[in-house]
Chains A and B, each alone.
Chain A
Amino acid sequence: MSVLPAELQAQWPYRPRFARVNGWRMHYVDEGAGDPVVLLHGNPTWGFLYRDFVAPLTAAGRRVIVPDMIGFGLSEKPAHEHAHSLDGHIANLTALLRGLDVARAIIVGHDWGGPTGLGFALSNPARVRALALMSTWAWPLPPSEFHTRIFPWRLMHAPLVGPYLLGRHNALAGRGVYLSVVDREKFRRRAQAAYEAVLPDPQTRLLTWTWPRWIPLDDTGRAVERFRWLERGLAACALPTLLVWGREDDVFDHGVFAARFKALLPHAEGPHLVTGRHFLQEDSGSQIAALLVDFLDRLDRAPAPR
């Protein structure tokens, strides 16, 4: 039985698969055949975010793997905040992709799917062929201007407020995503219930206020050293990379964040700017999927490095 409301099920017809990863039960879809494209979501979404990507990529001869991060979507949802860490989530993904014996993977990361996917890519370089990044980051400081604001960001996940606002009232998966897309009416009609349905109870929403607390705001942040490692690794990374950003993104502004990725990865293609705020896949999913298909086709045609 699908957890999705009936009117949304047609958008996500994929067979659910489950794997034991790093001590947890992870849900993923695995469609098509060819070099694997691994589509990684962030907070508070799940694989559904990539519903407009799966068909075009499989039709273009790619295998598409879409995991739900532990704590989100149809994956197991730990009951304790201390079950979550950036390193732990990288290890979860590593367990899945090693278990599937993934090779020549294209790692596509959005939001926390960025640091998580890049953590896998940098620690498993023999398994990765290319990267694609959207509205994300991979360095400790400075934070985005949005993440430094008390209203609304720091208040949303402040002690006691986080469990109340994001836990009891599911504010991030519902109205939070709604506020971070361009076409809100389309989102409300076509997608909002899919994000709310997989986080039905306050305790299932724990990661929605836990992830914000892992974003470093200063040198005392819990993940500062891992982000430093990511930044160093990216600066030495030669993997072909595609950057796609939302023009209207006010969480990871493209002028700051896409530009910094471009400085770290000067060979990267883009940033291609599309209509979109932070959840740009909601406004421009088909367009981004087409950019990805084209990028991968050109990668196939490029002469192999000697």
Chain B
Amino acid sequence: MPVTVIARPPLEDRRLALVLAEDRVGHYPEFRRFLSRVFDLDRVGLAEPGYVQAPSGLAYALVFVGRSGEPWPSGVELFAIVPALEPIDEPTVDRDLWAILEWVIEGVGGDWTVRDLQATGRLYRLPAVSP
């Protein structure tokens, strides 16, 4: 199952578990442009998070962060949406995060390729990447 943008999933009896934080999403501005485009952030602003569904079936919330004096958004936090009182399944979340990164890189495009990302993952022997 690929990563797909979804509408707000049911949040009743769910918890938002912080799994990744990026303080500087515009370090390479094309990453900011991609997320702005996909989640229509110039229109939506801070009104609501973006949501994606990852290959495991888990939904993730992307909470965008603004910072005075910097282009919007300046940062983004990823939260796994999980049963409120249950611990996260770390290997599952790790694989999902990797799939989300592949989706981001694919969307950013240009010089950034999933092939290079996978090569980087293999070089550093990430568990989520096949050898």
Chain A interface (Cβ < 8 Å from any Cβ of B) = 80-82, 150-152, 154-165, 167-169, 171, 175-176, 179, 213
Known: A158-B27, A159-B31, A164-B98. A150 touches B124 (CB 8 A): no
Alpha-carbon gap, A160 to B112, bound state (A): 13
Q: Is A160 a contact of B101 with CB atoms below 8 Å?
A: yes
The stretch from B16-24, B42-50, B81-89 touching chain A is B16-24
User: Nearest A residue to B97 by beta-carbon distance?
Assistant: A164
Residues of B within 8 A of A175 (CB): 123-125
Q: Is A151 a contact of B22 with CB atoms below 8 Å?
A: no
Contact of A168 among B20, B111, B120 (CB under 8 A): B20
Alpha-carbon gap, A187 to B113, bound state (A): 32
Known: A80-B23, A160-B104. A155 touches B94 (CB 8 A): no
Chain B interface (Cβ < 8 Å from any Cβ of A) = 20-28, 31-32, 76, 78, 94, 97-98, 100-101, 104-105, 111-113, 116-117, 119-121, 123-126
User: Nearest A residue to B21 by beta-carbon distance?
Assistant: A163
Known: A81-B24, A165-B126, A175-B124. A151 touches B101 (CB 8 A): no
Jot down 30 A-B pairs with beta carbons below 8 A, ordered by A. A80-B23, A81-B23, A81-B24, A150-B113, A152-B116, A152-B119, A152-B120, A152-B124, A154-B28, A156-B124, A158-B27, A158-B28, A158-B31, A158-B112, A159-B25, A159-B32, A160-B20, A160-B76, A160-B78, A162-B22, A163-B21, A164-B98, A164-B101, A165-B121, A165-B124, A167-B20, A168-B97, A169-B124, A171-B126, A175-B123
Residues of A within 8 A of B22 (CB): 159-160, 162-163
User: Nearest A residue to B113 by beta-carbon distance?
Assistant: A150
Residues of B within 8 A of A150 (CB): 111-113, 116
Alpha-carbon gap, A285 to B119, bound state (A): 32
Alpha-carbon gap, A168 to B23, bound state (A): 15
Closest 8 CB pairs of A and B: A81-B23, A159-B31, A171-B124, A151-B116, A155-B120, A152-B120, A159-B25, A160-B22
Q: Please name 4 further chain A to chain B contacts, defined as beta carbons within 8 Å, in addition to the given A82-B23, A159-B25, A159-B26, sorted by A numbering.
A: A81-B24, A167-B20, A176-B124, A213-B24
